């Protein structure tokens, strides 16, 4: 498990409200979900968009079953399969268009390989991946946090972070992403850990 001692020390010094939240929640147990390459991780993210976990997992399983010879399709294989078969697996038209655009951008090198992406800054990764259809900043931020383990990501538009922040600070209204974005500056270079604690704040009893 990653040692977040230095991050916790920084956050508790920088904000008394966050310090109380950390004391309530306890140690940070943030874990990377997997070590898949960016192409596979983003296909999964696109599949999960606007669906509950069970439904999305079922659809993803059907998509994987279209390529029985592999654990996961290569970009070239995904491009070769017909839209109709992907639609039959459960992907919407918009998601079919998105995963095929992702495949094209992976082949062209816009979407970096697993090795190359680790050498890029967070900003460079956001700039490169958001040119892909159906991939916005939030999707890339989740990739940075859960797949790449980046510690200074501040997903100010995330509903859970906004809700947890409002609860921790006793606000009646959720802050807007525009309002929340600059607040995170004081938690650099550990904004990911601050976000994790605000997610946990939504699980605490009222």
Q: Which of 4, 1, 55 is closest to 192 using CA atoms? A: 4
Task: Give CA torsion, residues 186, 204, 57, 42, to 10 deg.
Answer: 0
Rg of the chain over Cα atoms, rounded to whole angstroms, equals 19
Q: Yes or no: say if 12 and 22 are a contact pair by the CB < 8 Å rule.
A: yes
Count Cα atoms within 13 angstroms, Cβ side, for 48.
12
Residue 119: partners with Cβ closer than 8 Å, 6 or more residues away: none
3, 83, 101, 158: the active-site residue: 158
Please indicate whether residue 158 is annotated as part of the active site: yes
Q: Yes or no: say if 173 and 166 are a contact pair by the CB < 8 Å rule.
A: yes
Count Cα atoms within 13 angstroms, Cβ side, for 62.
13
Q: Yes or no: say if 33 and 147 are a contact pair by the CB < 8 Å rule.
A: yes
Active site residues: 158
């Amino acid at each position: 498990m990653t040692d977040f001692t230095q991050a916790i020390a920084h956050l508790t010094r920088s904000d008394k409200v966050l310090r109380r939240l950390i004391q309530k929640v306890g140690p940070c147990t943030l874990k990377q979900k997997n070590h898949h390459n960016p192409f596979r991780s983003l296909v999964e993210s696109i599949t999960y968009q606007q669906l509950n976990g069970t439904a999305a997992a079922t659809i993803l399983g059907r998509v994987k079953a279209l390529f029985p010879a592999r654990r996961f399709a290569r970009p070239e294989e995904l491009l070769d399969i017909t839209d109709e078969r992907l639609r039959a697996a459960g992907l919407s038209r918009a998601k079919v268009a998105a995963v095929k655009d992702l495949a094209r951008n992976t082949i062209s090198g816009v979407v970096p390989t697993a090795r190359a992406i680790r050498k890029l800054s967070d900003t460079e990764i956001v700039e490169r991946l958001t040119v892909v259809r159906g991939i916005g900043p939030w999707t890339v931020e989740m990739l940075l946090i859960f797949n790449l383990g980046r510690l200074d990501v501040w997903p100010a538009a995330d509903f859970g972070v906004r809700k947890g922040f409002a609860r921790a600070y006793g606000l009646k209204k959720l802050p807007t992403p525009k309002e929340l974005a600059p607040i995170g500056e004081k938690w650099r270079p550990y904004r990911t850990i601050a976000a994790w604690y605000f997610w946990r704040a939504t699980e605490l009893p009222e």
